Amino acid sequence: MYRFIGRRFFFAVLTILAVSAVVFAIFSVLPFDPASLTCGQRCTPQIIEGNRIKLGFDKPIYEQYWLFLSGIFVGRTYGSGQAAFSCPAPAFGYSFNENACVTEMIKESLPVTLNLAIGALVIWLFIGISLGVIAAKFKSRWPDTTGSVFVLLGTSLPTFVTGLALLIWVSIKWKIVPMSLDGYVSVLDSPGRWFMYFILPWITLAIAYAALYTRFTRAAVLDTLGEDYIRTARAKGVKERTVLFKHTLRAVLAPIITLAGLDFAGLIGGAIITETIFNLPGLARLTLRSVYEFDLPVVLATTILAAVVVIVMNLIVDMLYAVLDPRVRM
Amino acid sequence: MSELLRINDLRVAFPTDDGLVRAVDGVSLSVSSGETVAIVGESGSGKTVTSLSVMGLHKKGSAQMSGSISVAHDGGFLDVISASEEEIRSMRGRSVAMIFQDPMSALHPYYKIGAQLAEAYLVHNPGKKKEAISRAIEMLDLVGISEPAQRAKEFPHQFSGGMRQRVMIAMALMNSPKMLIADEPTTALDVTVQAQILTLLASLQKEFNMGILLITHDLGVVAQVSEKVNVMYAGRIVEQGGVDDIFYNPMHPYNLGLLKSVPRISATGSERLKAIPGQPPSLISLPAGCAFAPRCEYIKFADSNACATQMPALVGTSASHTSRCHIDESKRQASFSDAMKEVR
């Protein structure tokens, strides 16, 4: 078991290194001069050259990569003497557009995205698994057909439709949830405002995923109910409720958790539409803004971060799977 | 010998989009304590449907059942067809236990063996957890699993196929049932393991005086362990008799065909297997007369008109050996004699 985890961990680190190298390489062959993007309209070649040296763009690419990597562990100082400024470890670069260390910018937006993703995950798992089990239990009867309407709507309505609809009706017309104008609040500071801030984005994301999970759970439960070991349980005289909630659900749980882990990882860098509609200052918004503004250090950092999250979630899912499925244990 | 199971004129049909599938059509048989009654037949002949009916394991609403299935339960008899779900549940695993064809998939992959065995006991004796666990270990020991206390903590995938079938048998024995239904218990196993499992079943039967209903398509298994045999074809019993009658004095051409199709060690290398020509009929549109008539090699010895239009009754020379065939008893001996020489 420990060897299994150790091996997976080693390969995860290796993959992260490879991903960061590839992303770094892609950004250094892009046909812009990153140094020329660092100052506004009143640019002179002198300023550009100065910034180039300050940010290290004058060095060969492998050295730039090394500086980037080492910056993550020991921090990084740009320029020298009076004009020097430094980003403490872990430093992922410096954004000239915002005049801030990239790490600081990520630190501000990551909690928003995490709150969004975790809340949505909890809601969609609860709804998806419940509806899926109910639909399977009452296959071809009204709970199942009603459920399939929900699945169809949830999977076919894009988030910009559900999100806007929620925003227009629930927030603007009916005024049930106030439009948040004062920005992100932590759950620790004010649970009520935090809940109101996130509830509509959560529902927006959760509807789409809950529909998928309803379909997945329904199919998995139906599959499992047809398994020989379910027939064995019934032949023992086990109650039908126990057959469903113990024997069947236990078998269905492992693949659902795998799926949930990967979908969750995808949301960390990818809830662009939801974050935009609800004006959430999250990671996806940060990435989007940086892409528009050619703020390359930020794009580089968020891209690598998104990849790292996917790799780490994969690792966690694999370990969870080993816990859930005794056949995988070594 | 007390009667444990009496099936009378059981009919089971499944409505499908293509029509009504008559999987079992008028089956009657009985099993008493200490005896092994076999149901033989090919896939789709209705033998498994019959056994699942006894356990009430058909999905609610999917099967139309008529006739009666009386199971000895709590000192009386329970009619499975009219009983409530709760009554059937209290019978399952306690009065009648069942083991299945594929021990690889019949055990839950995520639960430990001991827990799965204990559950069989706890379902009927709620709260007696300690007792259940010690009984589980005792039963594992009984079916020949060494270090049972240790192995009870293992998962099914850590057992071999034969060992898993032993575990299934141990699970069936958890509540000391009077009757055991074994649905193709050796089909998924190696031949040497098959023999071990059959020997184990026979010795357990002797020890607990259990009645066994054995479902199989393997005539070798039938010959080895059963006393009474029911040959099924297209949902009906076509021949019913003692094991010697079935093997040495077959009355139905289908049974004779099965015997002829068994490969023989004495056969020369170039000899082909003697399969019964044709395919079993669709259970949705059964022929009006004898279901075997279109494949029957001996139809010339009977009134072929009767074969095509009338379902023969289950009759015979004695009450203990009967068959559904229009061939007259006097003609049968002569017409089967050549084939019987070959079979012996």
Question: SS in 3 state form for chain B?
Answer: CCEEEEEEEEEEEEEECCEEEEEEEEEEEEEECCCEEEEECCCCCCHHHHHHHHCCCCCCCCCEEEEEEEEEECCEEEECCCCCHHHHHHHECCCEEEECCCCCCCCCCCCCHHHHHHHHHHCCCCCCHHHHHHHHHHHHHHCCCCCHHHHCCCCHHHCCHHHHHHHHHHHHHCCCCCEEEEECCCCCCCHHHHHHHHHHHHHHHHHHCCEEEEEECCHHHHHHHCCEEEEEECCEEEEEEEHHHHHHCCCCHHHHHHHHHCCCCCCCCCCCCCCCCCCCCCCCCCCCCCCCHHHCCCHHHCCHHHHHHCCCCEEEEECCEEEECCCCHHHHHHHHHHHHHHHC
Domain that holds residue B256: 250-263+287-344
Which residue ranges in chain A fall short of pLDDT 70?
40, 83, 180-182, 329-330
Q: What residue ranges in chain A does DSSP mark as E strands?
A: 76-78, 85-87, 94-95, 100-101
Q: Does B139 contact chain A (CB < 8 Å)?
A: no
Q: What is the pLDDT of residues B100-149, one digit of tens each?
A: 988 889 999 999 999 999 999 999 999 999 999 999 999 999 999 999 99
* B293 domain-assigned: yes
Residues A179 and A169: their CA atoms lie apart, in Å, by 11
- Statement to judge: residues B134 and B85 lie in one domain: no
DSSP state of A41: S
- Statement to judge: residues B78 and B126 lie in one domain: no
Q: Both tokens of residue B88?
A: 């059937």
Q: What is the pLDDT of residues B156-191, one digit of tens each?
A: 999 999 999 999 999 999 999 999 999 999 988 888
* B195 domain-assigned: no
Give the pLDDT score at A36: 75
Answer whether A327 sits within 8 Å of B120, measured CB to CB: no
Asked whether residue B344 carries a pLDDT value surpassing 70, the answer given is: no
* B196 domain-assigned: no
ipTM score here? 0.90
* B125 domain-assigned: yes
Report the residue of A222, A236, A243, A320 to disrupt the B interface, i.e. the one with the largest count of B CBs within 10 Å.
A236
- Statement to judge: residues B1 and B60 lie in one domain: yes
Q: Does B155 contact chain A (CB < 8 Å)?
A: yes
* B27 domain-assigned: yes
* B121 domain-assigned: yes
Give A-chain residues touching B97 at CB under 8 angstroms: 235-236
Mean pLDDT on B313-326: 90
- Statement to judge: residues B244 and B257 lie in one domain: no
**The domain that contains B40 carries what CATH number?**
3.40.50.300
**How many contacts (CB atoms, under 8 Å) link A and B?**
70
Domain segments of chain A as ranges: 2-101, 103-324
Number of compact structural domains in chain B:
3
Q: What is the pLDDT of residues B220-231, one digit of tens each?
A: 899 999 999 999
- Statement to judge: residues B67 and B111 lie in one domain: no
* B268 domain-assigned: no
* B277 domain-assigned: no
Q: How confident is the model at residue B214 (pLDDT cuts 50, 70, 90)?
A: very high
Residues B137 and B240: their CA atoms lie apart, in Å, by 39
Give B-chain residues touching A232 at CB under 8 angstroms: 100, 106-108, 168, 171
- Statement to judge: residues B183 and B81 lie in one domain: yes
Q: Closest residue of B to A324, CA-based?
A: B110
A103-324, what's its fold? Answer: MetI-like fold (1.10.3720)
Q: How confident is the model at residue B261 (pLDDT cuts 50, 70, 90)?
A: confident
**Is the pTM value of this prediction over 0.90?**
no
Q: Does B157 contact chain A (CB < 8 Å)?
A: yes
- Statement to judge: residues B105 and B82 lie in one domain: no
Scanning the structure block, which residue is given the tokens 């949505």? A120
- Statement to judge: residues B88 and B105 lie in one domain: no
Residues B145 and B103: their CA atoms lie apart, in Å, by 15
